Amino acid sequence: MLDNILGNINIADPKVMIPLVATTGFLDGIHPCAIAILIFFIAFLLSFQRTFKNVFVLGLVYIFVIYLTYLAVGVGLFSGIVFFGQPHFFAKLGSWLLIFLGAVHLKEYLFPQLPIHLRMPKFSGEKVRKLLTKATLPGIIVAAFLVGLCSIPCSGGIYAAVTALLASKTTYFTGFLYLLLYNLMFVMPLIILLILSTNPITLAKLAQWRQRNERAEKLVMGILMIALGAGILIFFI
């Protein structure tokens, strides 16, 4: 019976692919490493002594640059997989990578003192803070680029698996459209945070809540990443 159900699943069908891409994109956006982006952004918003309109415009620039950075990486990865012509191999590889990174998150929850950690490099975090403190348009653009780029090694497992899956199941143009959707959902938490910036108290409480529940986030994210990687291997490849 299970075989019949799986046989009727057409992963290339937009009714299946759109929810999958949208859900995984949002999941990637609330990844513990990606949440570091939110914390940087909170600090960025709270550091301003300007009108809300000014903060909102600069915030949109920050989000847009992160969106373009992550999109460029995805398109590059997608193009590389298509060029090498082994999409199913890369889809399996991406799924196993996702499972491995999920296991690392579980390790950080169970044995945080052990080596191998998924986090942004310290030098990039310090550089971003300095750039955001200046609160200039060029500084915000560079900071957003660094945040988007440096978060990929620790939060890109989901992205790599989904991109490889797209390369194996869609055309190049269709895959590109799905990447646009994925990255829109990836920055959605930032968009929500920007809207919440009208109330600095809410932002401060959100940052405090994240600090208190950081380990629990790693546990939940680790389980979800392992389940997602296994699900792609079992149901979609």
Which residue's entry shows tokens 């994240």? 210
At 85-104, the pLDDT tens digits run 777 788 888 888 888 888 88
In a domain, residue 151? The reply is: yes
In a domain, residue 106? The reply is: yes
In a domain, residue 4? The reply is: no
At 123-139, the pLDDT tens digits run 566 667 677 666 678 88
Pick from 19, 15, 12, 35: which is nearest to 182 by CA? 19
- Answer whether 0.85 is exceeded by the pTM: no
User: How crowded is residue 26: how many other Cβ atoms within 10 Å of its Cβ?
Assistant: 16
In a domain, residue 43? The reply is: yes
At 180-219, the pLDDT tens digits run 999 999 999 888 888 877 677 777 777 777 777 777 878 8
At 143-184, the pLDDT tens digits run 888 878 877 766 677 888 889 889 888 889 999 999 999 999
Which residue's entry shows tokens 């803070």? 129
Residue 22: pLDDT over 80 = yes
User: How crowded is residue 100: how many other Cβ atoms within 10 Å of its Cβ?
Assistant: 13
In a domain, residue 212? The reply is: yes
In a domain, residue 16? The reply is: no
pLDDT of residue 133: 67
Do 178 and 17 touch, CB atoms closer than 8 A?
Answer: yes
Do 190 and 66 touch, CB atoms closer than 8 A?
Answer: yes
**Domain of residue 104, residue span:** 32-236
pLDDT of residue 6: 38
Domain count, the chain: 1
- Which tokens belong to 171? 């055309």
For 55-85, letters b (16+ CB in 10 Å) and e give bbebbeebbebbbebbbebbbebbeebbeee
135: left (phi over 0), alpha (psi -120 to 50) or beta: left
Residue 71: pLDDT over 60 = yes
In a domain, residue 220? The reply is: yes
In a domain, residue 213? The reply is: yes
